[in-house]
Structure 1
Amino acid sequence: MKAHISEVFSSIQGEGTLIGRRQIFVRFSGCNLKCNYCDTSKNQDPLYGEEISVDELFERVNEIITPDFHSISFTGGEPLLHADFIREFLEKHNFKALIETNGSLPKELAKIVDLIDYASVDIKLPEHEASSNWDDLFGCELESIKILRDEGINTYSKVVVMPSTKVDLVGYIASRIAREVPDTSNLSMVIQPVSPLGLWADEERKLFRISEKAGEYLDVLVIPQVHKLLKVR
């Protein structure tokens, strides 16, 4: 089996609850959404990058493993467009793995949930992605979180916020997760201020308000994209 992959590289995880961990990033091509803050827009093209096999990917990963290696991050694009490829890879090669997904493809997620260790579900806001029905999209994201939690996967939800983001909307999302996911005791919500951080020069108090509102329902962390602050990929 083959998949289009734009890059395979080793770096420091700059987002979410695995921040600071040394990972090997496998960036798949193709995405089913078009978010206006996307910083890997070339990867929306399903044919971008190089088509490689499972065994070729293993060779590339194996070449760049370092002593501080923690896990593989399957990212994109949308990696769940390649769920069958990921399953074959992880069945053949026993790596700890993080899936970074927009959560819109719960049936594809179900194909690999028994093989992954960590998951980041990037919950979109209506202001992020205008081509989809937001209620339906959010419903799929909730279903993905339930699938992950049912399997006991270490999971966090992530919400990229902008200065224009409505505080009550983030609160609504957090309340729905708290109400509809059976166990949220270890389920954090990461509030990620959109880059560049200069956009927040006059809006830092809004981040506090967003965090406070979401914190009524879930454990909350506010974490910017640290890899951009470090100026690494």
Structure 2
Amino acid sequence: MKAPIIEIFSSFQGEGLLIGQRQIFVRFAGCNLNCAYCDTKNSISKDDGILMTPSEVASKIESILTPDCQTISFTGGEPSLYPDFINEVSRLTNLDIMLETNGTLPDNIDLIDNLDMVSLDIKLKEHFEGDFKEDIFLNEIKSLNLLIEKSINVYCKVVILPQLNLESFEEVIKKIDEEIIDKNNVQIIIQPSSPLNDWENLSSRLFEFSEAAGKYFEVSTIPQIHKILNIE
């Protein structure tokens, strides 16, 4: 068994609920989407990765492991394209497992064992050039509900862009509230797109988005801290 890997590295988590924690990142090549704001365009095509076995990945993880690191983050690209590979790597390590996913492949996500945390991106129509396919959102909801049913810690990350309409944003958050089976254990993370100097009136707009999401969920607003720290 092999999977295309872009890179394996150690850094601080710069996004979401585990922000600031040291993690080892395993970045897969290959993605089923092509978001306009993607900051890892080199991971979209499977052809750009180096084929590695689970044991090779586990060995690399072990070689860069430090005492302050407790978690592997499987990211991409879209890591849920490789559920069996992730399962095999997780069996070769004692570290916690985090999945950073677009949530559009619920059947694949359902096959991944031993997940400790899932960061699930909610995609908006403004994230794409051209028509937005409704099944993207439907599959994200399906993934959220199966993770909730399994009692896996999951949060929704929503990247907001300078051109995003507040009403459009709130409509999506309301739909999530209506469709998931239990909202009490799901938090919304609002992530303004980088670079932050692309925004006008950033602080006032962030308060508006936070207030809109707060009508339905617990909400935090967290920029990409690794970009601010100028680290990978």
How does the TM-score come out when normalised to structure 1? Answer: 0.96
Are the aligned partners of 2:58 and 2:92 in contact in 1 as well (CA < 8 Å)? no
Q: Distance in 2 between matches of 1:37 and 1:20?
A: 22
Are the aligned partners of 1:123 and 1:157 in contact in 2 as well (CA < 8 Å)? yes
Aligned to 1:154: 153
| More off after superposition, 10-19 vs 120-129 | 120-129
Q: Distance in 2 between matches of 1:139 and 1:22?
A: 33
Give the share of equivalent positions with the same residue, in percent.
45
Question: Which residues of 2 match residues 33-112 of structure 1 at below 5 A?
Answer: 33-112=33-112
Query: Could you list the per-position Cα deviations for residues 132-166 of structure 1 after superposition, in whole angstroms to 9, with x for gaps in the alignment?
Result: 64321101111111111111111100110011111
SS in 2 for 1:207: helix
The amino acid that maps onto 1:134 is K
| More off after superposition, 87-96 vs 15-24 | 87-96
Are the aligned partners of 2:192 and 2:223 in contact in 1 as well (CA < 8 Å)? yes
Q: CA deviation at 1:16?
A: 0.2
Aligned to 1:204: 203
Q: Does 1:174 align with 2:173?
A: yes
Question: Which residues of 2 match residues 103-142 of structure 1 at below 5 A?
Answer: 103-112=103-112, 114-130=113-129, 133-142=132-141
Q: Distance in 2 between matches of 1:17 and 1:131?
A: 31
Structure 2 gap segments, 5+ residues each: none
Q: Distance in 2 between matches of 1:146 and 1:131?
A: 28
Query: Could you list the per-position Cα deviations for residues 26-60 of structure 1 after superposition, in whole angstroms to 9, with x for gaps in the alignment?
Result: 00000111111111001111011211100000100
- Going from structure 1 to structure 2, the CA distance change for 1:74 and 1:131 (only over 3 Å counts) comes to farther
| More off after superposition, 222-231 vs 127-136 | 127-136
Q: Does 1:195 align with 2:194?
A: yes
Aligned to 1:3: 3
SS in 1 for 2:220: strand
The amino acid that maps onto 1:90 is S
Query: Could you list the per-position Cα deviations for residues 97-156 of structure 1 after superposition, in whole angstroms to 9, with x for gaps in the alignment?
Result: 1100001100000001x3110000111110112466432110111111111111111110
Are the aligned partners of 1:33 and 1:129 in contact in 2 as well (CA < 8 Å)? no
Q: Distance in 1 between matches of 2:13 and 2:211?
A: 26
The amino acid that maps onto 1:136 is D
Aligned to 1:231: 230
- Going from structure 1 to structure 2, the CA distance change for 1:134 and 1:211 (only over 3 Å counts) comes to farther
Q: Does 1:186 align with 2:185?
A: yes
How does the TM-score come out when normalised to structure 2? Answer: 0.96
The amino acid that maps onto 1:38 is C
Q: Which runs of 4+ in 1 moved over 6 A?
A: none
Number of equivalences = 232
State the superposition RMSD in angstroms.
1.3
Q: Distance in 2 between matches of 1:30 and 1:54?
A: 17
